A and B are shown apart, each in its own frame.
Chain A
């Protein structure tokens, strides 16, 4: 007997409210396409472009915990702030972040990245300097490419020393769109 959409929704809401999920996620529509958005009870842990939910869910189950469930309520606040950001009504995200999967140098770089302000550009080399490894610009590029929480951790604001956009995990078009939205281009 098929579970109705309403009953399904009720269970997913109750699971999110119970606090027993390792990760609750949903797919969120934005002007730069559909995003996978996932959060642990401690905070936002994953945003992904062009999501293949099954693959991301499997990888979160391995890295965070097996109790991964599509539970829209878990990411309501993130969805709201993303909507505001894309509607030019928010310049800074105010969300708890869970970066438990990043350690060591990548973690330091992502922490520095979080401080790059709206509408401003920085370079891979500069970010490496701020994370106390001035010669690690290339490694910073790799870390940006694997950024677990793009948009909210603004790797789109990081460009090459010559000012070229260089690259973006979600594709250069999106990097350009985000920087235009912020008035940086």
Chain B
């Protein structure tokens, strides 16, 4: 039944299902102690936005894009404590890569959108994206590349 698949679960089930994976991801990005604050921030942001969700599909990808953004904020705030991220090219009049991509990718199918944003916006390795999307490394690579092809066609760049 479509309706049952797409129903938004109570926050308790959502949190219990994803907390360990999200914490693992943040710990790898930020180190264990910085990850604790980032973990709390990630799920508090999710909680605030949760009432506005329109369906319950792709919640794992959704929470990982929140976690990835929190990790970037945390790494910026405390550069000394954080595992360094790749350079993010930010000029005065351009948005950070992930914001621009999230906007561009809005119309992609959700799995492709998440793969594109996590790969090219947040620079996550495919294995991590596969874990985030509940699929494999290969599936994540495929979703990202077909998302990129679709974006190029849309933007007339093919």
Interface residues of A (CB under 8 A from B): 1-3, 7-8, 10-11, 14-15, 18, 20-22, 54, 57-58, 60-61, 65-70
Q: Is B90 an interface residue (CB 8 A)?
A: no
Interface residues of B in 87-112 (CB under 8 A from A): none
Task: Report yes or no: B15 in contact with A69, Cβ–Cβ below 8 A.
Answer: yes
Q: Contact at B11–A69, with CB atoms within 8 Å?
A: yes
- Could you say which of B44-52, B61-69, B122-130, B139-147 contacts chain A? B44-52
Contact of B10 among A7, A10, A11, A68 (CB under 8 A): A68
Residues B51 and A66 in contact, CB atoms below 8 Å apart: yes
B40 touches A14 (CB 8 A): yes
CB distance from A37 to the nearest CB of B (A): 14
Q: Do residues B11 and A67 form an inter-chain contact, with CB atoms below 8 A? A: yes
- Smallest Cβ-Cβ distance to B36: which chain A residue: A7
Chain B residues, CB < 8 A from A54: 13
User: Are A68 and B12 neighbours in the complex by a CB distance under 8 Å?
Assistant: yes
* Chain A CB within 10 Å, residue with most, of B12, B36, B53: B12
Give, as a whole number of angstroms, the nearest-CB distance from A4 to chain B: 9
Q: How far is the CA of A11 from the CA of B24 in the complex (A)?
A: 16
Given contacts A57-B12, A69-B11, A69-B12, 12 further A-B contacts (CB under 8 A): A3-B19, A7-B23, A7-B36, A7-B39, A11-B15, A11-B39, A21-B47, A58-B10, A61-B9, A66-B53, A67-B47, A68-B10
Counting CB contacts under 8 A, is B20 at the interface? yes
Most chain B beta-carbon contacts within 10 A, residue among A3, A22, A70 = A3
The answer on a CB contact under 8 Å between A20 and B10 is: no
Knowing A14-B44, A20-B48, say if A3 contacts B39 (CB, 8 Å): yes
Most buried by B among A11, A57, A60, A70: A11
- Give the top 9 A-B pairs by smallest Cβ distance, nearest first: A1-B24, A61-B10, A68-B10, A67-B11, A3-B19, A3-B23, A57-B10, A20-B47, A66-B8
The answer to whether A15 touches B36 (Cβ under 8 A) is no
**A3 proximity list for chain B (CB < 8 A):** 19-20, 23, 39
**Chain B contacts for A68, CB-based, 8 A:** 10-12
Query: Which interface residue of B11, B19, B39, B51 has the most chain A CB atoms within 10 A?
Result: B11
A18 touches B44 (CB 8 A): yes
Contact of A1 among B8, B27, B44 (CB under 8 A): B27
Contact residues, B26-51 vs A (CB, 8 A) = 27, 36, 39-40, 43-44, 47-48, 50-51
